[in-house]
């Protein structure tokens, strides 16, 4: 019985010219979005890889200079783009892609792709994710708003129910049939996506396919929840028009209003400092100490005395190494504590913001989906943070090696003598290992929980509403 109803709904949808047009439009849009994104990801990845190679060349060939100058010469490191950015660019267009690593400072990633994007390229940011998040629900809406209310209006519902069909079977059959119609529309998109993914080499342990599978699951939950909600509204609405009105308003609330409102609200509840304020506070803490009562000069003076005591000397010149190098090491260590504290606080705050927005998905499921999708794609903030931390670790290693060289291999002079160019080789190139799929899954869990709740509650609601289906 349910199968017969599902089969009829499926056929009816495909015989409906409006659905076929919607299908062609959605397929074309998603297909083009995927192709463009694939091309862009490919290009970006090779550009960044090439830039990294060139940067390394520059570093190795910087010639003869002292190690401290090399620290200021600095190196650029480039953030590799996750293969699944093909589906979901996440925050990538809004965060930096490059970090300048230099002595004394922890820099934020710079060069936001969105900053220099032309209008055309921004349009190109219509990703498969956006299509599935915003367009697919519209297709479901058009497919379902009249599914029950329209049959009631036309009188076919009386005919069906007079045959002794259980309303619940009817509703389930419709849900399955319409779901299948939607699946035939989206399956080619998934296959195209898989093909694109297969051509993009994955970092070892990145787990692209695991991530891809979970992403698929997240979208299925989301669309299944929307399908159930739409059918429940259609079951209860007195007319198809009324169902359409309610559903369109809900769509706009979920797709347009909720993301903006959530972003504003969360900035209000959990504000982040302005960039200038943040940097000023950090610089001050570097100078004055984290507690603000421990000036850097004093700390370094104490450090000098302790060092002399430890080595049983009375004058810095008597130390068996270049004391300036040791001071550099110590001040880097002290600054590092400040950076860890300030950046840690900022990043924790940003993650708390994201989490709050994700839980707001209990009201508007798109927020839950966006969070899960980005996390699984490897384009959310937790992945960006992972990269930023790795870049900073590399910076500290690099500065440490330079300072140790100054300390041990040079003598006297404020910034030490000239370093042996073989030193440049000793500094390993930056190799970033993106986090494994387990990290992504952990980051995606709240969003997935939100989606699961939505799907379960929506289907229960549909099953509760179904027996109350009125024939007239």
Partner 1 sequence: MLETLKLTKRFNGHVAVNDLNLLIKPGEVFALLGPNGAGKTTTINLLLGFLTPDAGEARVNGASVATDPIAARRQIAYIPEQVMLYPRFTGVENLDYFSTLGGRRHTREELLALLKRAGLPAEAADRRVGTYSKGMRQKVGIALALATEAKALLLDEPTSGLDPAASHEFSLLLRKLAGQGVAVLMATHDLFRAREDATRIGILLDGKLAGDYATNDIKHVDLEKLYLKHLRA
Chain position carrying tokens 């209310």:
149
Q: How far is the CB of 157 from partner 1 (least distance, A)?
A: 9
Neighbour tally for 160: CB within 10 Å = 16
What is the rounded CA–CA span in Å between residue 289 and residue 269? 29
Burial class (CB in 10 A: 0-12, 13-18, 19+), 307: middle
Q: How far is the CB of 39 from partner 1 (least distance, A)?
A: 40
Q: How far is the CB of 171 from partner 1 (least distance, A)?
A: 14
Is residue 220 involved in binding partner 1 (CB under 8 A)? Answer: no
Which residue lies nearer to partner 1 by CB, 9 or 88?
Answer: 9
Residue 434: left (phi > 0), alpha (psi -120 to 50), or beta? beta
Is residue 180 involved in binding partner 1 (CB under 8 A)? Answer: no
Q: What is the DSSP string of 409-421?
A: H--SSTT-SBPPT
Q: How far is the CB of 468 from partner 1 (least distance, A)?
A: 12
Give the residue, chosen from 16, 288, 340, 397, that forms a contact with partner 1 under the rule CB under 8 A: 16
Residue 6: left (phi > 0), alpha (psi -120 to 50), or beta? alpha
Give the residue, chosen from 165, 210, 270, 316, that forms a contact with partner 1 under the rule CB under 8 A: 165
By rule CB under 8 A, what count of residues binds partner 1?
Answer: 22
Give the residue, chosen from 18, 43, 158, 442, that forms a contact with partner 1 under the rule CB under 8 A: 158
Is residue 18 involved in binding partner 1 (CB under 8 A)? Answer: no
**Cβ contacts of residue 383 below 8 Å, gap of 6+?**
82, 90, 375, 434, 435, 439, 440, 443
Q: How far is the CB of 235 from partner 1 (least distance, A)?
A: 16
Is residue 61 involved in binding partner 1 (CB under 8 A)? Answer: no
**Strands (DSSP E) along 296-402, which ranges?**
none
Is residue 164 involved in binding partner 1 (CB under 8 A)? Answer: yes
Which residue lies nearer to partner 1 by CB, 11 or 110?
Answer: 11
Which residue lies nearer to partner 1 by CB, 161 or 185?
Answer: 161
Is residue 20 involved in binding partner 1 (CB under 8 A)? Answer: no
Stretch that binds partner 1, among 76-84, 126-134, 149-157, 177-185 (CB under 8 A): 149-157
Is residue 239 involved in binding partner 1 (CB under 8 A)? Answer: no
Long-range contacts of 439-442 (CB under 8 A, 24+ apart): 439/382, 439/383, 439/386, 440/207, 440/211, 440/214, 440/375, 440/376, 440/378, 440/383, 441/210, 441/214, 441/375, 441/376
Stretch that binds partner 1, among 3-11, 181-189, 331-339, 368-376 (CB under 8 A): 3-11
Stretch that binds partner 1, among 107-115, 158-166, 228-236, 397-405 (CB under 8 A): 158-166
Which residues would be at the binding site for partner 1 (CB under 8 A)?
1, 4-5, 8, 11-12, 15-16, 154-156, 158-166, 471-472
């Amino acid at each position: 019985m349910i199968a017969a109803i599902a089969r009829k709904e499926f056929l009816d949808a495909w015989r409906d010219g409006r659905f076929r047009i919607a299908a062609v439009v959605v397929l074309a849009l998603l297909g083009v979005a995927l192709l463009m994104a694939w091309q862009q990801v490919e290009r970006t990845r090779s550009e960044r890889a090439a830039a990294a190679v060139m940067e390394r060349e520059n570093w190795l060939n910087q010639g003869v200079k002292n190690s401290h100058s090399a620290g200021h010469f600095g190196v650029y490191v480039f953030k590799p783009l996750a293969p699944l950015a093909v589906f979901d660019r996440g925050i990538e267009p809004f965060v930096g892609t490059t970090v300048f690593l230099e002595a004394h400072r922890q820099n934020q990633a710079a060069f936001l792709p969105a900053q220099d994007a032309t209008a055309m390229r921004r349009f190109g940011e219509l990703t498969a994710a956006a299509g599935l998040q915003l367009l697919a629900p519209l297709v479901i809406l058009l497919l379902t708003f009249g599914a029950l209310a329209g049959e009631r209006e036309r009188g076919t519902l009386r005919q069906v129910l007079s045959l002794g069909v259980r309303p619940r079977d009817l509703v389930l059959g419709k849900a399955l049939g319409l779901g299948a119609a939607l699946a035939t529309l989206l399956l080619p998109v998934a296959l195209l996506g898989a093909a694109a993914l297969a051509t993009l080499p994955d970092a070892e342990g990145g787990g692209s396919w695991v991530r891809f599978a979970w992403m698929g699951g997240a979208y299925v939950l989301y669309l299944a929840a929307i399908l159930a909600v739409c059918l429940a509204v259609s079951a209860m609405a007195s007319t198809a028009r009324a169902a359409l009105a309610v559903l369109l308003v809900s769509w706009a609330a979920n797709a347009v209003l909720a993301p903006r409102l959530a972003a504003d609200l969360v900035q209000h509840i959990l504000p982040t400092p302005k960039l200038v304020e943040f940097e000023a506070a950090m610089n001050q803490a570097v100078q004055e100490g984290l507690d603000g009562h421990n000036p850097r000069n004093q700390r370094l003076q104490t450090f000098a005395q302790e060092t002399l005591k430890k080595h049983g000397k009375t004058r810095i010149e008597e130390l068996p190494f270049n004391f300036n190098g040791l001071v550099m090491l110590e001040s880097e260590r002290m600054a590092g504590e400040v950076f860890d504290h300030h950046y840690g606080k900022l990043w924790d705050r940003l993650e708390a913001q994201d989490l709050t927005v994700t839980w707001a998905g209990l009201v508007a499921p798109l927020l839950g989906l966006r969070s899960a999708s980005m996390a699984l794609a490897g384009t959310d903030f937790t992945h960006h943070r992972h990269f930023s931390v790795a870049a900073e670790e590399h910076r500290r290693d690099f500065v440490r090696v330079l300072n140790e060289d100054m300390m041990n291999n040079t003598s006297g002079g404020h910034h030490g003598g000239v370093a042996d160019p073989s030193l440049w080789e000793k500094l390993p190139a930056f190799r970033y290992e993106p986090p494994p799929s387990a990290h992504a899954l952990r980051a995606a869990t709240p969003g997935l929980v939100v989606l699961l709740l939505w799907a379960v509650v929506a289907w229960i609601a549909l099953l509760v509403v179904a027996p109350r289906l009125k024939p007239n």
